[in-house]
């Protein structure tokens, strides 16, 4: 059987399908938005297909989600699943909720919708609850000063759409502003800067209230991290919306740490033991790839390590010139968790797979589309999502789905309906 990890930007989905169907000890760790749902400007308009939800249920404990979004709340994925079912009661009684981690790793849920927030204090939750109200006040002031061409009702409607009052990751999603300010690009750029400053102010306020180092801001898309480990905002231009999602998140809520939480739980389900202890959570995990990998190597039995498939849609890189030097910025909210899965495969000599879903066809136009071409009669990928000038990209995307979430969901359902269980 072909080693998946040796493939690069492959379209040979049947190879991965065959491996998943015939490998009982396998684990899919998957992002949500853009992967099994189309990207939309307003999260309230997201749709998830019921056959996909049913297939996730069939995967049982070989499938977990890992998302920066949330399970609960009016914009949570649970609500979307309930709308796709014949009744919300059916979802709750049968256990059709998607199991796994949300909020970057701080919101855990089983398939019956039982939610926990391991490692988060009540004081931190109270501060998070105050964020949407502060953001609304600031955005309203900005719109009154800068957007007098919009009606008061129009402003309220936009603000309602852009403030996501998530439980553990309150978010400002300015995609709707980008659409409304098409002819006022300078105002949109000012808005992006103002939201960035507001996030900085919130971090300072948290520190004053005794919550230093409790939170960080996740920018999506971003330009990777700086020398201090902080994410770098992707500035808006005349042709690019740049960073549109500003997520105020709990420190430790990073997807790569979530991989360890899920792997720790997977081992418990299949061996009866937690390699990192029953009370392990992402807030106890280190933050660097090297330290996370060492934790896996030193604690997990290599004989029981599953074939891991990581699935995401947000990976990018940008090559730029600064002061006569070439700078490479590698970002994307899925990059680091996919990289860790790849590194685990390399370290344990396991054929782990990194799968990329092209979500550029959605309503949000800030992702580079996959470029396809021909090699004789065969369709091949000519360009991936990164900068073509980035010649030392460490993340190897083994398999790509250029037709987006519809193509991936069809693949996923076929795997779930044919898979051999352990």
pLDDT tens digits, one per residue of 251-306: 998 999 999 999 999 999 999 999 999 999 999 999 899 999 999 999 999 999 99
Distance CA 169, CA 192 (A): 19
Q: Determine the pLDDT at residue 197.
A: 97
What are the distances in angstroms from CA 81 to CA 51, 96, 233?
11, 8, 32
Average pLDDT over residues 183-198: 95
Distance CA 336, CA 239 (A): 27
Compute the radius of gyration of the chain from its Cα atoms.
21
| Cβ-proximal residues to 55 (8 Å cutoff; 6+ apart), any chain | 412, 413, 415, 416, 417
323: confidence class by pLDDT, cuts 50, 70, 90: confident
Distance CA 32, CA 81 (A): 12
422: confidence class by pLDDT, cuts 50, 70, 90: low
Sequential DSSP letters for 29-57: EE--BTTTB---SSGGG----HHHHHHHH
Average pLDDT over residues 356-366: 87
Distance CA 349, CA 261 (A): 21
**Residue whose structure tokens are 């091949």:** 380
Work out the number of other CB atoms within 10 angstroms of the CB of residue 80. Answer: 19
Q: Determine the pLDDT at residue 1.
A: 64
Average pLDDT along the chain: 94
Q: Determine the pLDDT at residue 421.
A: 65
Distance CA 208, CA 106 (A): 23
Q: What are the pLDDT digits (tens) for 81-101?
A: 999 999 999 999 999 999 999
69: confidence class by pLDDT, cuts 50, 70, 90: very high
Q: What share of the chain is helix, strand, coil (3-state, %, to 5)?
A: 40, 20, 40
Distance in Å from the first CA to the final CA of the chain? 20
Whole-prediction pTM value? 0.91
Beta strands at 171-173 and 163-164: parallel, antiparallel or unpaired: antiparallel
Distance CA 156, CA 335 (A): 35
The H-or-E segment that residue 129 falls in is: helix 122-146
């Amino acid at each position: 059987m072909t080693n998946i990890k040796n493939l690069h930007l492959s379209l040979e989905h049947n190879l991965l399908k065959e491996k998943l169907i015939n490998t009982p000890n396998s684990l899919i760790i998957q992002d949500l938005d853009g992967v099994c749902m189309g990207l939309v400007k307003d999260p309230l308009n997201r749709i998830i297909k019921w056959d996909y939800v049913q297939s996730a249920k069939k995967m049982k404990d070989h499938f977990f989600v890992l998302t920066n979004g949330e399970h609960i709340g009016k914009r949570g994925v649970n609500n979307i699943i309930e709308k796709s079912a014949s009744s919300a009661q059916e979802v709750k009684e049968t256990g059709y909720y998607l199991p796994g981690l949300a909020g970057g790793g701080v919101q855990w849920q089983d398939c019956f919708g039982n939610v926990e927030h391991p490692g988060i204090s009540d004081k931190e939750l109270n501060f998070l609850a105050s964020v949407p109200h502060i953001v609304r006040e600031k955005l309203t002031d900005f719109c009154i000063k800068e957007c007098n061409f919009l009606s008061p009702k129009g402003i309220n409607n936009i603000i309602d759409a852009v403030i996501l009052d998530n439980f553990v990751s309150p978010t400002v999603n300015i995609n709707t502003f980008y659409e409304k300010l098409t002819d006022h690009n300078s105002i949109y750029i000012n808005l992006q800067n103002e939201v960035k400053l507001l996030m900085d102010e919130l971090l300072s306020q948290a520190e004053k209230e005794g919550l230093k180092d409790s939170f960080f801001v996740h920018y999506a898309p971003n330009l990777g991290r700086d020398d201090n480990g902080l994410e770098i905002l992707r500035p808006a231009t005349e042709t690019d919306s740049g960073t549109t999602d500003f997520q105020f998140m709990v420190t430790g809520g990073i997807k790569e740490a979530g991989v360890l939480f899920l792997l720790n739980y997977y081992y418990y389900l299949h061996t009866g033991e937690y390699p990192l202890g029953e009370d392990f959570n992402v807030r106890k995990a280190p933050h660097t790839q090297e330290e996370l990998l060492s934790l896996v190597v030193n604690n997990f039995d290599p004989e029981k390590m599953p074939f891991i498939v990581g699935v995401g849609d947000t990976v990018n890189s940008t090559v730029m010139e600064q002061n006569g030097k070439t700078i490479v910025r590698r970002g994307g909210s899925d990059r680091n968790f996919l990289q860790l899965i790849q590194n685990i495969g390399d370290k344990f000599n396991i054929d782990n797979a990194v799968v990329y879903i092209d979500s550029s066809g959605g309503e949000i136009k800030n992702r580079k589309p996959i470029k396809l071409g021909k090699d004789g009669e065969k369709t091949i990928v000519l360009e991936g999502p990164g900068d073509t000038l980035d010649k030392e990209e460490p993340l190897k995307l083994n398999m790509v789905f250029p037709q987006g979430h519809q193509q991936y969901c069809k693949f996923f359902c076929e795997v779930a309906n044919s898979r051999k269980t352990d």
